[in-house]
Amino acid sequence: MEKVFENDVEKPDEGFRCRDLLTEKELISFLRIPEVSKAADYHNVVENLKRMHGLPRVHICGKPLYPVEAIRKWIEGKTIFEK
């Protein structure tokens, strides 16, 4: 870890990725949006999921991040079981 400030706050190395929080790009891949959507802009699909379907997210420094566990629970809640 590299020091950022004198008060021991550190930023992750470049190769570090938090597996519990997804960026929008990672979310698009996680939900396999390119495989199921014909939309030209996948960002619009994510915005629709947030507005119309309550896609869970947190905002850190003004940027939305998507908690993997909350996304999994959200998917479970949206799952339809047909007879």
Q: Where are the domains of the chain?
A: 17-78
Task: Determine which of 10-14, 33-37, 55-59, 61-65 has the lowest per-residue pLDDT on average.
Answer: 10-14
Residue 29 CA, distance from chain mean position: 9
Give ∠ CA 55-60-62 in degrees, rounded to 5. Answer: 90
Instruction: For residue 29, give both structure tokens.
Output: 């891949």
Instruction: For residue 79, give both structure tokens.
Output: 């799952």
Select from 55, 33, 54 the least CA-distant residue to 45. Answer: 33
The 10s digit of each residue's pLDDT in 63-79 is 999 999 999 999 999 99
| DSSP assignment letter at 31 | T
* Mean pLDDT of all residues in 3-31: 74
